Structure 1
Amino acid sequence: MEPVYRGLGRCVCCFWLAVAFDIVGLAVLLIGVFVNVFFYDLLIYAGAIVIFLSLIWWVFWYSGNIEVPPAELEDDVGLLKKDKGRVSGISSAVRRLSSRMSSGIRNSLRRNGGPSSTHTARAQRSSGGPPVAPQAEQVTVAMATMTLQGATPHTTPAVGCVVEMQHATTLTLPT
């Protein structure tokens, strides 16, 4: 037999925390409004914030006291009755199709994992040794500082073409 809750319901602790937050927040706010202190604005804002935080406890108390009959819970937890007829057949077919599609998508994401660099790591791992991190490609980037006086330009080959630069510096970054 289920216990019968009266008065404040099941979540009494959340109720009293909400009331305490409201009382403390209102007291701090009113002190900030009516007492002549130099930090009155801090008290006003702090009181308002504490009252706002009491809303969390009020939502917990309210949602903890919502009563749902077991007949309405059957559909939510997957306990469908067999004698519902055609509606049950359609909904079970849709449910099966949905679970097949979601598991197929989930499995394909697990199988394909990510970018192509993970495929090389998987191939190295399957060859028998310990897992090896994939080697990052290195890209050479040419950086130039331009001066207008007295420098003679020279050529530096980069990616199959010739680029003229004044004073060139190269930087190698892993990708």
Structure 2
Amino acid sequence: MSTSVQMEPVMETTYAGVGRCKCSFWFAVAHDILGVFIMMVGVFGGLVIHDLFIYAGAIVIFLSLIWWVFWYSGNIDVPPEELEDDVGLIKLKDRGLGRAVRRVSNRLASGIRSSFRKKGREVNNSPSNTGPDVSLSTVCDSAITPPSKDLMRETLSI
């Protein structure tokens, strides 16, 4: 017994004017106007500290770039068919090439991961290794065994 599910087409909302991120747009415009005003005061104001106003105006205009980036990145439209869940769902049109690229990527990543492991050493996945027979391994791959019950003091020189 099959049930039919009808899906309505998704209509994308179109935004007229400045787009979705109106607040970022107006902050960017305000910073640009303020920066140009401060810079023009430095150029035409005849003040003793005119260079301070010129630099401050340029810095304010530079900081307005942050708001422009927010506005631009907030208005990037991604079609719904491009939005794919990355939990194993494969797009129908990219099935062959996408699967091959994913396999190569997984093999390369697992090869890199396994190359960092020492050859011939088993990986112990037990939650804790407690007991007197635990040995520590250093970068030089020399084993350091824990001392016996007697405490020994060794000096370390750097």
TM-score range, shorter chain: 0.5 to 0.7
Structure 1 residue 21 displacement after superposition: 0.9
Matches within 5 A, 1:11-160: 11-74=21-84, 79-82=89-92, 84=93, 88-109=95-116, 111=117, 117-118=138-139, 123-124=143-144
TM-score by length of 1: 0.56
Structure 1 residue 136 displacement after superposition: 10
Greater share of residues in helix: 1
Structure 1 residue 137 displacement after superposition: 8.2
Q: Tell me: CA distance 1:34–1:21, structure 2 relative to 1, closer, same or farther (3 Å).
A: same
Q: Tell me: CA distance 1:124–1:16, structure 2 relative to 1, closer, same or farther (3 Å).
A: farther
Greater share of residues in strand: 1
Give CA-to-partner distance per residue, 1:80-122, whole Å, 9 cap, x none.
224x3xx52232022112122113313433x35xxx833658x
Structure 1 residue 59 displacement after superposition: 1.8
Q: Distance in 1 between matches of 2:80 and 2:27?
A: 30
Rg larger in 1 or in 2? Answer: 1
Unaligned runs of 5+ in 1: 128-134, 139-173
Which has the higher relative contact order, 1 or 2, with Cα contacts under 8 A spaced 6 or more apart? 2
Q: Tell me: CA distance 1:8–1:79, structure 2 relative to 1, closer, same or farther (3 Å).
A: farther
Structure 1 runs of 4+ with >6 Å offset = 75-78
Q: Tell me: CA distance 1:137–1:61, structure 2 relative to 1, closer, same or farther (3 Å).
A: same
TM-score by length of 2: 0.61
RMSD: 3.5
Q: Distance in 1 between matches of 2:71 and 2:20?
A: 8
Unaligned runs of 5+ in 2: 1-9, 119-136, 147-153
Q: Tell me: CA distance 1:100–1:18, structure 2 relative to 1, closer, same or farther (3 Å).
A: same
